[in-house]
Structure 1
Amino acid sequence: MKLSTLQRKKFRVRNKLKGNSKNDRFRLSVSRSLKNISAQIIDDANSKTILSASSNEKGMKSANKVNKIELSKLVAEKLAKKAVEKNIKKIYFDRGQFKYHGRVKIFAETLRKNGMEF
């Protein structure tokens, strides 16, 4: 089976994280599209999603228009708040096929400001 360039890039990043991961940390997987961004905190040992946050959730896009950068910050703050409630501080940041640039970088920096370590 031949994989596309994006699939190879995604598997390369994820396999490095999974190979180096220990049981004390979970993986934070980020996915973005042209208009939205979403993230999940995943327990790879049990193959379960622990937490998730998305810009598609109710109340995220309020009546006033929010640009994509501010939307990334809001999703990151919401995810960090949920993670602190479940006593999750240390994670591995899985950027997937996306470069650590733009909205993904702002998402990661906002998580760091709100108490997450990676």
Structure 2
Amino acid sequence: MKKKSVKFKKVFGNPDRPRVSVFRSNKNIYAQVIDDLSGKTLTSSSSIEKIFRNSKKNKTDLSIEVGKLLGNRVKKLKIKKLIFDKGKYLYHGRIKFLANGIRETGLDF
């Protein structure tokens, strides 16, 4: 039996619209804003940061908070538009809540 290969679309960011890359593990969620032309990470946030350490929130609520934190950090860099790169994950669950948290800060993607 042949395996079907799944091809992913490559998403690239630039200085005007950097890319938000997301990684989700079973316990935590990580997001970083990357300028692909220079190859540098501009800012990042994750659920393992100190401010979330003693929180009693579930994983979906924590994803919203991580998105809001990332959005506020991006706004300090005076960036208004982003490109969302969900990677291999479906736009569902914690990935969707993270994106909604970023949108709540007023950023557009």
Say yes or no: does 1:55 pair with 2:47.
Answer: yes
State the one-letter code of the partner of 1:100.
Y
- Percent identical pairs in the alignment equals 43
Q: What amino acid is aligned across from residue 70 of structure 1 in structure 2?
A: D
Stretches of structure 2 lacking an aligned partner (at least 5 in a row): none
1:114 Cα deviation after fit: 1.0
Query: Match of 2:28, as an amino acid?
Result: N
* 1:79 equivalent in alignment to 2:70: yes
- Partner residue of 1:42 out of 11, 22, 34: 34
Counterparts of 1:1-118 in structure 2 under 5 Å?
A: 9=7, 12-13=8-9, 15=10, 17-18=11-12, 21=13, 23-62=15-54, 64-118=55-109
Normalised by the length of structure 1, the TM-score is 0.81
Task: Report if the CA contact (8 A) 2:46-2:66 is conserved.
Answer: yes
| TM-score normalised by L of structure 2 | 0.88
Alpha carbon RMSD of aligned pairs, Å?
Answer: 1.6
Summarize the Cα distance change of 1:50–1:39 in structure 2 as closer, same or farther, 3 Å threshold: same
More helix by share: 1
- Report the CA distance between 1:23 and its aligned residue: 4.6
Corresponding letter in the other structure for 1:35: K
Looking at structure 2, the residues matched to 53 and 91 of structure 1 have their Cα atoms a distance apart, in angstroms, of: 15
State the alpha-carbon separation in 1 of the partners of residues 59 and 93 from structure 2: 10
Amino acid at match of 1:36: N
